[in-house]
Amino acid sequence: MPSFKLSIAFAVLLFASLGCGKKDSAAPTTKESKPADPTGTPTLPTTATNTGDSGAEALKAATDFLKAVQEGKATSASLTPGFKRVIAPPELEADKAPGYSESGVQAWLTAAKAVANADGLKVDLATPDYAVLSTPVDKPVRAFVRMVKAGTGWAVDHARLNAKSKADIAFVGNTPAAALATIFFVEAALAGNKAELETLLSKTAKGKIAPPLFEEDKAAGYSRIGLNSALGALFPEGTTFVGLTQEQAGMKALVTLASGDKNRSWELKLAPGAGPGEFLIDDLQQK
């Protein structure tokens, strides 16, 4: 299929259903939201190691978290505030100050008991500020986790505890962090989680997919209603994983998904985000 810009397709997609319900509400899906997009070119870490203090600390923290979730003992203190805002948005007046619902966080942790798995968890990348971890592709229930340094400990900044694809982090140097962002995007697409997909796209990408339509859209730089509609049409229910390849540099990936009996390939371009170890999808084109 010839490549096309999603901004062109948006005019058609706008008339699609404007429903915003998540299709995978029965199983937890996650993404830490950082609303600010990067300005300039953030400096990437110059070294990455799977050993040493950072790797050992992050591995222990992630393992302890997954085991605690599995045992029903995990608390919201293990999660970053931004992560909690995504998995449990404010519901009551008292939730507005912290920006999330504590009861919603507890509900997510309870639901996560069925899919938490620390078996074989490994460190794919560790720096003093963040770490990327995953479980092997041969595990029946797989996890992908990004940890960030929080004071003297570590906190879960983004995680997928019920991965459905057969994607794996198999890159060197700083690349695993970008590969993880690609995998998170694939997993959100498979789950039909439009809210998570939104957080994984840069402001530039969101503006291309769903340009501002009304005055209130201008500050955000995109139409949230239009984006929700477009993402629902681009990644419909029943989307399955076919394959993923990523440049060694990590800034571009080719993802193939299937919808019905048709395969569709997407070229993703990535850019560093605002937070430690965060990468965002900066451009998305169907090939």
Average pLDDT, the chain: 83
Beta-carbon count within 10 A of 120 CB: 13
Q: Is residue 201 part of a domain?
A: yes
- Range(s) of the domain holding residue 126: 6-286
pLDDT > 80? residue 97? yes
Q: Is residue 142 part of a domain?
A: yes
- H helices then E strands: how many in the chain? 8, 8
Q: Write out pLDDT tens, residues 13-31.
A: 333 333 333 344 333 444 4
Q: What is the pLDDT confidence band of residue 52, given thresholds at 50, 70 and 90? A: low
**Top-confidence residue, 281 or 44:** 281
Q: Is residue 188 part of a domain?
A: yes
Structural domains counted in the chain: 1
DSSP conformation class of 257: E
DSSP 96-136: TTTTS-HHHHHHHHHHHTTT---TT-EEEEE-SSEEEEE--
pLDDT > 90? residue 56? yes
Q: What is the pLDDT confidence band of residue 161, given thresholds at 50, 70 and 90? A: very high
Distance of CA 19 to the CA centre of its chain: 21
The predicted pLDDT at position 82 comes to: 86
Q: Is residue 278 part of a domain?
A: yes
Q: Write out pLDDT tens, residues 225-282.
A: 999 999 999 999 999 999 999 988 889 999 999 988 899 999 999 999 999 999 999 9
The predicted pLDDT at position 22 comes to: 39
Nearest to 158 by CA among 222, 100, 87, 96: 87
Cα distance between residue 67 and residue 183, in whole Å: 23
Q: Is residue 1 part of a domain?
A: no
The predicted pLDDT at position 174 comes to: 74
Q: Is residue 208 part of a domain?
A: yes
The predicted pLDDT at position 38 comes to: 36
Q: Is residue 210 part of a domain?
A: yes
What global pTM score does this model have? 0.81
